[in-house]
Amino acid sequence: MINYKVIFNFLGFLLILNGIAMMFGIPFSIYYGDDDIFTLLFSGLSISTIGFITYYLTKDSNKDIKKREGYIVVTLGWLIMALFGAIPFIVHGSIPSVTDAFFETMSGFTTTGASILNDIEAMPHGLLFWRSFTQWLGGMGFIVLSLAILPILGIGGMQLFVAEVPGPTKDKIHPRIRETAKRLWGIYVLLTFVEVLLLLIGGMDLFDAINHAFTTMATGGFSTKQDSIAHFTSPFIQYVIILFMFLAGMNFSLHYYWLHRNFNPVKKNEEFKFYSFLIIAFATLIAIGLFMKGNIGVEKAIRDSLFQVVSIITTTGFITADYELWGVFFHALFFLMLFIGGSAGSTGGGVKVVRHLLLIKNSALELRRLVHPRAVIPVRYNDNSVSKDIIFNIMAFLLFYIAIFVTGTIVMTLVGLDFLTAMGSVATSLGNVGPAIEGVGPSDNFAHIPDIGKWILSFLMLLGRLELFTILIIFSPSFWKK
């Protein structure tokens, strides 16, 4: 029996959170004299009221959350957050189409950063703030946030945590899931705060600084400017954002350790090393390429290359230069980078560096195993041998990922996109990146995609954010068998 009551109880809580968070933008609207104050107040209050009623009616539910409830809560939770989160855009009329508003909000919560807005600066500040806030909530995960706030019984909390933060490695930094959630959010808030300060020092105004800090730390990529970060020509601001995208793409348990002056886990972490290596390798290659093409200084070549590479690999999606103008070789490189993803336990999306690392290791060892058929050659990661179960799990993940990418691409061409745009849009949605290639490149947006395509892409974003399995499990018959 699935305990539906506790599912509704939790969804009620999420709606309260959703409604309250929405109203955080009101002070900015008041300050800038925008016309969305009533919209935010009305939407925020009614959503949190609906949430409260649901929560209250189910408050005596048995708080026993098992595996199945965990997956359902997380999937439904993400769906309703995006559905209700879209309401202020529709009510205000700045995004009149339900499809567009849902796409924009889902792109926000999943920290994809793909936008259908043609004129971002025309949006009222309160709604822009809410748009960035969705990314910030989705980055570390609002389910994890709820775990830190709600007194959920131990094991149930873990089912929810595992469903929202999957990944091949488990990094509990505290024995209790609730304390782990608190610490993760604590680090997230701290880093966001530091970034706001640095952006202010760099000359951004408070509104832009907060918005960009939110969307950087979430590896989201929404900007309050039509030109994204290219709008801010200050190298300092761009370097600050590079740094924080890099930090956000790291495993947050590593932040926890170095903040506690424990540098060993950071030094030892192979994923972190590989993540840094990939960024440096791609950035160097592209910087050299840019420099050789001419018309560009060394510093600018390095900065442009580094910014774009970090932005795509961490799945943020900020842009300071249009890589589509650089030539087809760079084109191909950036398309490849859509499939890398951040580190496990980061706010980044995509396949995740650790999965690539373990698969590469396993494949390389397979050659040795062929030479020595009877040898026991385990895959080693961070000085521990990795069990076969994990390797199989990663293989299944990658296979699903590729299958979904291929199927998605074909479906999108059916919807009417050209082949490269279809590939780009699917890869970028599934990887929660934002910009891609061709018709959805850095200087384009998603407004021109047909409605049905937007729904499909929204679904792919959610699929990617919850790392496939959480949602795929719900579609598997064995999940519903008694």
Partner 1 sequence: MRIIIAGAGEVGFHLAKQLSSKEHDITIIDLDEAQIEKTGSASDIMSFLGSSTSIKILKEARVEDTDLVVAVTSNESVNVTTAILARKLGAKKTIARVGNAEYTSDENLDMIKSLGVDYLIYPEELAAREIVKLIKHSAATDIVDIESGKLSIVGIKIDENVPVLNMTMREIAEQYDISSFRVAAIHRGNETIIPSGDNRFKLNDHVFVITTQDGIKDVMKIVGKHEKNIQDLMILGGGKIGRKTAKLLEDKFNVKLIESNSDKAIELADYLRKTLIIEGDGRDIDLLAQEAIIDMDAFISVTEDAETNIITSLMAKHLGVKKTIAQVDNSDYVPLTKTIGLDSLINKKLIAANVISKFIKRSNIISSLSLPGLDAEVLEYFVKEGTPITKQMVKDLKLPKNVVLGGFIREDKGYITVGTTQFQTDDKVVVFALPEIINKVDSFFN
Kindly identify the residues of this chain, within the stretch 337-396, that bind partner 1 according to CB under 8 A: 384, 387
> Side chain identity at 387, as an amino acid letter?
S
295 lines the binding site for partner 1 (CB under 8 A): no
> Which phi and psi (to 5°) does residue 421 adopt?
-65, -40
Rule CB under 8 A: is residue 174 a binding residue for partner 1? Answer: yes
Which residue, 113 or 157, is less far from partner 1 as judged by CB? 157
Q: How far is the CB of 402 from partner 1 (least distance, A)?
A: 28
Q: How far is the CB of 179 from partner 1 (least distance, A)?
A: 7
d(C-alpha 216, C-alpha 434), whole Å: 13
Among 5, 63, 68, 448, the residue binding partner 1 under the rule CB under 8 A is 63
Nearest to partner 1 of 56, 193 (CB atom): 56
Q: In the window 398-437, what residues touch partner 1 (CB under 8 A)?
A: none
Do 221 and 342 form a contact (C-beta atoms < 8 A)?
A: no
Q: How many residues bind partner 1 (CB under 8 A)?
A: 15
Minimum CB distance to partner 1, residue 262 (Å)? 10
By CB under 8 A, tell whether 62 contacts partner 1.
yes
What does 179-224 look like in DSSP terms, one character per residue? HHHHHHHHHHHHHHHHHHHHHHHTT--HHHHHHHHHHHHTT----S
Q: Which is nearer to partner 1, 16 or 177 (CB)?
A: 177
Q: Is 179 in the site for partner 1 (CB under 8 A)?
A: yes
* Binding of residue 259 to partner 1 (CB under 8 A): no
- Asked whether position 322 contacts partner 1 by CB under 8 A, the answer is no
* Residue 12 beta carbon to partner 1: minimum distance, rounded to whole angstroms: 19
- Which string of x and - marks every residue 131-170 that binds partner 1 (by CB under 8 A)? ----------------------xxx-xx------------
Provide the 10 A C-beta neighbour count for residue 239: 15
Nearer to partner 1, 384 or 478 (CB): 384
Rank residues 183 and 454 by Cβ distance to partner 1 and give the closer one. Answer: 183
Closest distance to partner 1 from the beta carbon of 318 (Å): 36
Residue with tokens 């490269």: 420
* Choices 172-180, 223-231, 311-319, 408-416; region in contact with partner 1 by CB under 8 A: 172-180
Closest separation in Å from C-beta 10 to partner 1: 17
- In terms of DSSP H, where are the helices of 344-482? 353-371, 388-415, 419-430, 451-465, 469-475, 477-480
* 140, 177, 204, 210: residue in contact with partner 1 (rule CB under 8 A): 177
The CB-of-167 to partner 1 minimum distance in angstroms stands at 15
Cα gap 196→214, rounded to integer Å: 9
d(CA 248, CA 252): 8
3-state secondary structure of 321: coil
Q: Which residue, 227 or 270, has its beta carbon nearer to partner 1?
A: 270
What's the closest the beta carbon of residue 374 comes to partner 1, in angstroms?
Answer: 23
What are the DSSP calls for 148-168, one per residue? HHS---HHHHHHHHHHHS--S
- Closer CB to partner 1, residue 119 or residue 383? 383
State yes or no: residue 478 binds partner 1 (CB under 8 A). no
Nearer to partner 1 by C-beta: 65 or 140?
Answer: 65
65 is an interface residue for partner 1 by CB under 8 A: no
Q: How far apart, in whole angstroms, are the C-alpha atoms of residue 180 and residue 65?
A: 18
DSSP 123: S
Measured between alpha carbons, how far is 134 from 88 in angstroms, rounded to an integer? 12
Q: What's the rounded Cα separation, in Å, for the pair 122 and 11? A: 33
Closer to partner 1 by Cβ: residue 179 or 444: 179
The rounded distance, in Å, linking the Cα atoms of 85 and 60 is: 27
Does the protein bind partner 1 through residue 267 (CB under 8 A)? Answer: no
Q: How far is the CB of 105 from partner 1 (least distance, A)?
A: 32
Distance of alpha carbon 133 from alpha carbon 275, whole angstroms? 27
Binding mask 431-470 for partner 1 (x = CB under 8 A): ----------------------------------------
Q: Which of 1, 119, 175, 475 forms a contact with partner 1 (CB under 8 A)?
A: 175
Asked whether the beta carbons of 319 and 229 are under 8 A apart, the reply is yes
Q: DSSP readout, 66-111?
A: -HHHHHHHHHHHHHHHHHHHTHHHHHHTSS--HHHHHHHHHHHHTT
- Stretch of residues binding partner 1 (CB under 8 A), selected from 9-17, 39-47, 90-98, 171-179: 171-179
Determine the Cα–Cα distance for residues 121 and 75; give it in Å rounded to an integer. 32
Q: Which is nearer to partner 1, 178 or 352 (CB)?
A: 178
Q: Which amino acid is at 257?
A: Y
What is the rounded distance in angstroms from the CA atom of residue 167 to the CA atom of residue 351? 9
Positions in the binding site for partner 1 (CB under 8 A)? 62-63, 153-155, 157-158, 172, 174-177, 179, 384, 387
